[in-house]
């Protein structure tokens, strides 16, 4: 029994894939929660945050975001006090990708309209593996801080 589980662990580590027989399909199972957009100051730019939970045994990546609100939406991470545009953000297997104030975030440039508090902005998240997910993002007050 020990030998078997050690072997299983080794295989999981080296291939990064789920083993057949323990649940079957190994696709990422993504769930988006806690989405919000602080009310933007101007029509030039807005940010948005959310959490992507992966209940699957396969890692994925957030690769792009589309929305009617803006054509130019990029994915940023924060390094020290500066933000940096990235091509993707990793979503670990059985893990969570967290976007939040002062960390990873979406950046919308050149908004077609200026959303105000209580509006809902629809975005579509695109992933390397999983199907796109449509997310209704509520617009909160500019100084909104989520409670944990």
**Residue ranges binding Cu ion (CB under 5 A):** 76, 83, 107
Between residues 39 and 94, which has the closer beta carbon with respect to Cu ion?
39
Dig out the tokens for 148 from the structure. 């944990």
Rg (Cα) of the chain, in Å, rounded?
Answer: 18
Question: Residue 105 CB, nearest distance to Cu ion (Å)?
Answer: 6
d(CA 129, CA 29): 10
**Least Å from the CB of residue 138 to Cu ion:** 20
| C-beta separation of 99 from 107 below 8 A | no
CB of 75 to Cu ion, least distance (A): 9
Residue number of the CB closest to Cu ion reads: 76
With respect to Cu ion, which residue has the nearer C-beta, 15 or 81?
A: 81
- The residue among 70 and 93 lying less far from Cu ion, judged by its C-beta, is 70
What's the sign of the alpha-carbon dihedral 88, 89, 94, 99?
negative
């Amino acid at each position: 029994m020990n030998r078997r589980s050690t072997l299983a662990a080794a295989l999981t580590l080296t291939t990064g894939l789920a083993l057949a027989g323990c649940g079957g399909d190994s696709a990422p199972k993504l769930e988006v929660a806690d989405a919000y957009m602080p009310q933007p100051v101007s029509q030039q730019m807005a940010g948005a945050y959310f959490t992507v939970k992966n209940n699957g045994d396969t890692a994925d990546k957030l690769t792009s975001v589309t929305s009617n609100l803006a054509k130019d939406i990029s994915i940023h991470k924060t390094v020290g006090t500066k933000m940096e545009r990235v091509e993707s953000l990793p979503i670990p297997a059985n893990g969570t990708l967290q976007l939040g104030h002062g960390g990873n975030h979406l950046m919308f440039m050149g908004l077609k309209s200026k959303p105000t508090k209580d509006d809902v902005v629809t975005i579509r998240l695109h992933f390397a593996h999983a199907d796109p997910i449509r997310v209704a993002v509520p617009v909160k007050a500019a100084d909104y801080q989520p409670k944990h």
